[in-house]
Amino acid sequence: MRFLSLLLALTSLAEGVSLPQRRKVVQSFNVRRNQSSDSTPLQVGNGNFAFGADVTGLQTFKPYAIMSTWGWHNFSLPTTPGQTSVEDYTGMQMWTHGRLVTYEMPNPAENDISTWLIQNPNRLNLANVGFTFGQQNVTEDDLQQKSQELDLWSGRLSSSFVYNGSSVQVETWADPGSDTVAVNVQSKLLTQGLGLFFDFPYPDTEKFNAPFVGHFNLTSKHSTVLEQLSPNTARIKHSLDGATYFTHVAWTGRGRIDGPAAGTHRYSFAASQSNVQLVISFSLAAYDQPTTTYSRVVSASRNWWKSFWTTGAFIDLSAVQDPRAKDLQRRIILSQYLTAVNSASSYPPQESGLVNNGWYGKFHLEMALWHLLPFARWNRFPLLWRSLPSTYHQFLPTSLARARMQGYAGARWGKMSDPSGRSAPGDINALLIWQQPHPMYFAETEYRAFPGAATLARWDAVLTATADFMASYAFWNASTRVYDLGPPMYPVSENTDPNATVNPTFELAYWRFGLDVAVRWKTRQGKPVPRAWLAVRDGLAPLPMADGAYAVYEGIPGMWTSNATTNDHPAMAGIFGLLPPPASGPPLDMAAVKKTAALIKELWALDYSYGWDFGMLAMNSLRLGDPEQAVEYLLHPIFQFDDAGYPVGGSRVPTPYFPNSASLLIATAMMAGGWDGSEGKTGHWPKSWEKDVQVAGFEPAM
């Protein structure tokens, strides 16, 4: 049996893109730098932990971050009378279909605790590790022959430079299985004053910490303690407010750690031979022994990345003549590396992954679909399973409580989240609804790959609670005799008046999709389908139109005539692209779908869009039979990826903004694997590319 599946795996690999060919394509996009970037590091990492390096392979000149899934911090609670505990926050009430509903919005009468709940917990930059040059104040300009290569095939970052006539060679690796960075330094300067420093920052209350996280000059606000464990190991305990974690350092040969230097939390490490290997591990618990070694980290990283590139799906555009193919291939390869490092975590990732902090390091449940779906579509389910469905199961109690508090059945998923399952107060946070059907999208995607009782059981409780809420949230409008969504609500685009927003196109289509999946889920298990789900699904308001095209929401003024409405996320394109056509109810009006796509192309303020819009528009173009337009969207001038593949935030959000990378991977998976009903044709590329594209391992999208 095992032999057979091994044989099958090898056969499918051979039929698709061979291992040497995959390796050649991947390594042709190895990242090379000869100076530090001002905006992005080069990273080694494993999805739950990442180390961001400057041109020295460490954090010598640019304080890029070391971040994790578990490293969080709370500032102390406010001391304002009546606002000293989380329980003192009561939210805001709004009239909702004739009754007062409590929403998790900032309450001006509870300003201090509302603000505290927004800013806490915040994600920690665990430390900085860099080179010191004896007594000298050295800048990056003082180094010569700087050169750096990130090998995507093995996860190795090699850096070298010359200082005062002597070369320094550095290799930096992350352990796939622990929060550990391993560093090899080779230089005779190690015996002449070249050393390392370890420093520890204190966070601030800014929403965005980009490109760097934390401050190294707020020494009195936190404390560190060095403990020498053996001649070759030391542990630094870092305590800040209620948070404590440990940095474990182990080294080869003779060396010592001293410090901190007066008035700082900066420690120094010096070796007494020209080669040293360090293993630096971070954790909430204190260890007395190093948990791994440099050579074990190196071989684990080599194995992990080789397996990553050889077992997942693959697109090889290297034989395509069109020069656009090379740029698309570069984006595809680097996006896979970066999303594995930054997004394959045990919770959904934040938009900036483990590079820096956006929204205090929290993650957004409506963005989870973009971030996590690529792991499924590129046949890397184990990376998806790190966070799903466990995050939903873990957040079920707070989501059931949220719905109950608001007078709804089921579970209402929160928005801007942290591992506690709390949703941060916010006007948009409280009124956004498109995160609700995401569990159905994930569950159905998983079921298509793994049909069977185990998949059904894994998701059943989550889907049931989700569908119960969705049915209960829809409001029976006795005069129009349809179920309305909102008001108050924010649609995907977050730029409308929530008191006027009713029946947005994307959310209506997504509610139908979600309820269809929930009904199917019960039917597959031979369980009864709750009547309310069917009633709501079959009674949903029709998709709203304006000028023969789909509108953001029903009755929106000036839909295709005002620039106030033709900007931000054009989510209407998602009803025939990201979403399959409806499985129940009236079919889409295809003339309207086409006109919507044409009007978006003609009128939309795409310069003001965020990047995942382009992946979404590309999927819409694909289903409309226009792969040429899909490629144009994926290479749109506003949709930028820097030299190392980091998605550039643009005018609205800081860099990196990983939903861009994810949307590119979801769209290209659709180009490679087609979708249900794509007429037996599996590739959807510009005509001139078709004969030269090689793909392996894709399943059709829904």
Binding residues for ligand NAG, rule: CB under 6 A, are 34, 72-74, 86, 94-95, 97, 120-121, 135-137, 164, 215, 217, 242-243, 420, 477, 479-480, 497-499, 563-564, 567, 605
Task: Spell out a b/e string for 316-331, using b for 16 or more CB atoms within 10 Å of the CB, else e.
Answer: bbbebeeeebeebbbb
For ligand NAG, which is the closer residue by CB, 185 or 463? 185
Three-state SS for 219? helix
Residue 135 Cβ, how far from ligand NAG at the closest point, in Å? 5
Which of residues 1 and 262 has its CB atom nearest to ligand NAG in the complex?
262
Among residues 348 and 439, whose Cβ is nearest to ligand NAG?
Answer: 348
Handedness of CA 484, 487, 488, 492 (dihedral sign): positive
Query: What is the biggest distance separating any 2 CA atoms in the chain, rounded to whole angstroms?
Result: 84
Phi and psi at residue 450, to the nearest 5°: -130, 70
Closest contact distance (angstroms) between CB of 201 and ligand NAG is 8
Q: Angle of helix 453-473 relative to helix 438-449, nearest 10 degrees? A: 160
Asked whether the beta carbons of 310 and 22 are under 8 A apart, the reply is yes
Q: Give 377 or 415: the residue with its C-beta nearer to ligand NAG.
A: 415
- Would you say 103 or 657 has its CB closer to ligand NAG? 103
Minimum Å gap between C-beta 419 and ligand NAG is: 8
In angstroms and rounded to an integer, the radius of gyration of the C-alpha atoms of the chain is: 26
d(CA 266, CA 256): 14
CB 57 within 8 A of CB 183: yes
Looking up tokens 């070249």 gives 194
Minimum distance between the CB of residue 7 and ligand NAG, rounded to whole angstroms?
44
Residues 304, 48 contacting (CB under 8 angstroms): no
Pick the closer one to ligand NAG by CB: 73 or 412: 73
How far is residue 175's CA from residue 422's CA, in Å, rounded to a whole number? 31
- C-beta of 165 vs 452, nearer to ligand NAG: 165
Q: Give me the amino acid identity at 177.
A: G
Cβ distance to ligand NAG smaller for residue 111 or 420? 420
| Paired tokens of 681 | 């044709």
Name which of 69, 43, 164, 84 is nearest 126 in CA terms: 69
Task: Find the DSSP H helices in 229-356.
Answer: 294-311, 323-343
Distance from C-alpha of 468 to C-alpha of 437, rounded to nearest angstrom: 11
Shortest Cβ distance from residue 62 to ligand NAG (Å)? 12
How crowded is residue 492: how many other Cβ atoms within 10 Å of its Cβ?
23
Which residue, 542 or 581, has its beta carbon nearer to ligand NAG? 542
Cβ contacts of 524 within 8 Å, gap of 6 or more? 456
Nearer to ligand NAG, 35 or 318 (CB): 35
Minimum distance of ligand NAG from residue 649's CB (angstroms): 19
Nearer Cβ to ligand NAG (37/184): 37
Return the SS3 of 166: strand
81 vs 108, beta carbon nearer ligand NAG:
108
**Which residues pair with residue 223 across a beta bridge?**
239
Nearer to ligand NAG, 264 or 379 (CB): 264
| Beta carbon of residue 73, minimum distance to ligand NAG (angstroms, whole number) | 6
The two three-digit tokens of residue 57, written as one number: 């392979």
How many Å separate Cα 303 from the centre of its chain?
Answer: 24
CB of 492 vs ligand NAG, minimal distance in Å: 16
Which secondary structure element, helix H or strand E, spans residue 168, and what is its range? strand 166-174
CB 267, min distance to ligand NAG, A: 18
- Distance in Å, CB of 423 to ligand NAG, minimum: 13
Nearer to ligand NAG, 360 or 442 (CB): 360
- Least CB distance from residue 609 to ligand NAG, whole Å? 11
Distance of CA 478 to the CA centre of its chain: 42
Q: What DSSP string describes 652-694?
A: SSPSP-THHHHHHHHHHHHHHH-BTTSTT------GGGGGG-E
Nearest-10 crossing angle of helices 612-623, 627-634: 170
Q: How many CA atoms lie within 13 A of 601 on its CB side?
A: 15
Q: Which is nearer to ligand NAG, 5 or 217 (CB)?
A: 217
Q: Which is nearer to ligand NAG, 272 or 499 (CB)?
A: 499
CB of 137 to ligand NAG, least distance (A): 4
**CB of residue 374 to ligand NAG, shortest distance in Å:** 28
Number of helices followed by number of strands (H, E) in the chain? 17, 28
Beta bridge partners of 158: 149, 171
Give the count of alpha carbons within 13 A of 200, CB side only.
27
The set of residues, in sequence order, having a beta carbon less than 8 Å from that of 229 and lying 6+ positions away, is 235, 288
CB of 567 to ligand NAG, least distance (A): 5
Phi-psi category of residue 493: left, alpha or beta, with phi > 0 → left and psi -120 to 50 → alpha: alpha
CB of 113 to ligand NAG, least distance (A): 11
Inter-residue contact 171 to 47 (CB < 8 Å): no
Q: What 3 state SS string does 509-531 have? A: HHHHHHHHHHHHHHHHCCCCCCH
CB of 677 to ligand NAG, least distance (A): 33
